[in-house]
Amino acid sequence: MEKLNFVNTIVRPEDLESLKEVAASLFSEPETQSQSLLDTLATLGLMDLTPERRALKAATALVNRAENQGVSAFKSKVGSPFFRLSAKQRFVLMGLHRLKWSYARIADCLGIEITSVAELAWLARITLQMSMATSEKSGPGSNRVAGSGLASHSSCPEFVSSSPWTQKFLDEECTVRERTFLQNHLMVCDSCRMVLGRARKLLFDLEIAIPKHNIDESIELDSISNLADSMRARKVVGRFGFWNDLLRFLNRVDTKLLLFALGALLVFWFSTKV
């Protein structure tokens, strides 16, 4: 229990669950997911951060690690439509679909603008949809982009192909004013309701492609326990590190000679003043 409480000061239980899902979207093997997560927590654990900031930085570090590893991060699933996406695209889809994170939270993790998150999400969704359709060898028309469509009336919302209003509406990223307008408009516009329906089906169909973590809980508990022991020891060493370094410095021969010479110089200086 004491070890678990110590780990909870490093990362909150709910954040740990989210980070396991993030790792699952970036690495194909459970062992790699677990080790990458533990390495990241060990690196960030000693930093003076709030649990919230530490969790965000951990997610960022996992994305960067996956990008650096390239194909080796998911070599066993290189043919998977989901893992054909870039690391950032996989992270965005996991954040939106499984973790229900906001655009702002994802943007904070990736260090990009909120508008860029929307564009990255739509590109990832469309790419994954087309890749899944190709893998399933669906019939004609299966590659049609779901949720796409142009305004059929002057009152219809503008459909921006890189980040359409349908996605923003379904991701619950609209302002109160935007949502009110769209809800009122959808009650009277069959065309926009049809476009929104296609987009909703797209998001639903993609759910099955996003992996869930399958980290062995017993291995994880042992690893977390070892991490707690290691970090606690590092904290103790860090607490006395300055004094240990100072003592070693003072015991050096050249330091002793320098202090002796300095003392002699001070004695000479005082004798000249008397």
Amino acid at residue number 191: S
Report yes or no on 46 lying in a domain: yes
Report yes or no on 19 lying in a domain: yes
Q: Give first-to-last CA distance, the chain, whole Å.
A: 68
Q: Which of 125-139, 152-166, 187-201 has the lowest mean pLDDT?
A: 125-139
Report yes or no on 265 lying in a domain: no
Report yes or no on 270 lying in a domain: no
Report yes or no on 73 lying in a domain: yes
Considering the chain, what is the average pLDDT of its residues?
81
How many separate domains does the chain show?
1
Q: pLDDT by residue (tens digit) across 229-262?
A: 555 555 444 444 555 666 776 777 777 778 777 8
Report yes or no on 9 lying in a domain: yes
Which carries the bigger pLDDT value, residue 130 or residue 46?
130
Residue 128 has pLDDT above 90, yes or no: yes
Query: How many whole angstroms separate alpha carbon 179 and alpha carbon 174?
Result: 6
Report yes or no on 155 lying in a domain: no
Report yes or no on 49 lying in a domain: yes
Residue 115 has pLDDT above 90, yes or no: yes
Q: What average pLDDT does this structure show over 195-202?
A: 94
Domain range enclosing 17 = 1-78+216-244
Report pTM: 0.73
